[in-house]
Amino acid sequence: MNSPKTWHEFDQYTTDKLISYDPVLENVLQTNAEEGLPSIDVSPVKGKMLHMIASLAKAKNILEVGTLGGYSTIWLARALPDDGQLVSLEYSAKHAEVAKRNLKKAKLDDKVEILIGAAIETFPQLPEKGFHDFDFVFIDADKQNNSRYVEEALKLSHPGTCIVVDNVVRNGTVLDSDLEDESVQGIRQMFDYLSDHPKIESTAIQTVGSKGYDGFLLAIVK
């Protein structure tokens, strides 16, 4: 029973039981595939989890790092109140263009702004563009910069800001300190950065599912 096949089937089972059929989100995944985007979006159950955490946090201002086709963006933006806003940082102009189309179809284009460029260069421009004081941050881009993204997010946070980082387990490879893999090293640097951090409380949860063995980090700014 304990195999990737079961993980996949259980994700399908819980998706069928707990997540209403959503033509908008289905269409997003189809568009992304047609446009040749990699299918590394969060799974439906994780998308809903992000949505629920953002709701619990009563998030009015959300930051996302790593848009891809906007699948997680839509889950998160749907947790916003009428006067809420989400800004998502994306390196690829092509991904951003597909995401913008998807967000328009989801009728969320008035609440979401996508900023194109390397996120580490976009971060310092956020306050002048009116994006700061985030209540919820989702980090899901190039893993080698994870600790810098958490550090930058902290500057734009307040006590209680919730930060979620995707893919912090990567099939367990993150345990291997000698692995010459920029993503693994970046994730390890993030854990070092967060270890005993005076202003951030964190935990990490391993997950299995349709996207394999991975996990996420949950942090709250003190």
**Taking CB under 6 A as the rule, does residue 142 contact ligand SAH?**
yes
Tell me the number of residues near ligand DHB by CB under 6 A. 4
- How many Å apart are CA 91 and CA 115, to the nearest integer? 8
Which one of residues 167, 184, 187, 217 is an interface residue with Mg ion (CB under 5 A)? 167
Pick between residue 33 and residue 158 the one whose CB is nearest to ligand SAH: 33
Is residue 40 part of the contact set for ligand DHB (CB under 6 A)? yes
**Beta-ladder partners of 219:** 163, 202
Q: How far is the CB of 196 from ligand SAH (least distance, A)?
A: 27
Positions of E strands within the chain = 61-65, 85-90, 112-116, 136-139, 162-166, 200-209, 212-221
Residue type, 124: P
Determine the Cα–Cα distance for residues 65 and 149; give it in Å rounded to an integer: 8
The verdict on 57 binding ligand DHB (CB under 6 A) reads no
Q: Does residue 11 bind ligand DHB (CB under 6 A)? A: no
Residues near 210 by beta carbon (within 8 Å), at least 6 away in sequence: 7, 8, 11, 12, 43
One-letter identity of residue 46:
K
Q: Are 165 and 194 in contact (CB under 8 A)?
A: no
At 84, the amino acid letter reads G
Site for ligand SAH in 6-65 (CB under 6 A): 40-42
Q: For the segment 101-140, give every residue that binds Mg ion (CB under 5 A).
A: 140
Taking CB under 6 A as the rule, which mask of x and - marks residues 153-182 in contact with ligand DHB? -------------xx---------------
Smaller CB distance to ligand SAH: residue 61 or 67? 67
Rounded-to-integer distance, Cα 34 and Cα 76, Å: 23
Is residue 140 close enough to count as binding ligand SAH by CB under 6 A? yes
Instruction: Tell me the C-alpha distance between 145 and 143, whole Å.
Output: 5
Scanning 56-64, 124-132, 166-174, 178-186 for contacts with Mg ion by CB under 5 A, the matching segment is: 166-174
Contact of residue 90 among Mg ion, ligand DHB, ligand SAH, none (CB under 5-8 Å per partner type): ligand SAH
Footprint of ligand DHB on this chain (CB under 6 A)? 40, 140, 166-167
Footprint of Mg ion on this chain (CB under 5 A)? 140, 166-167
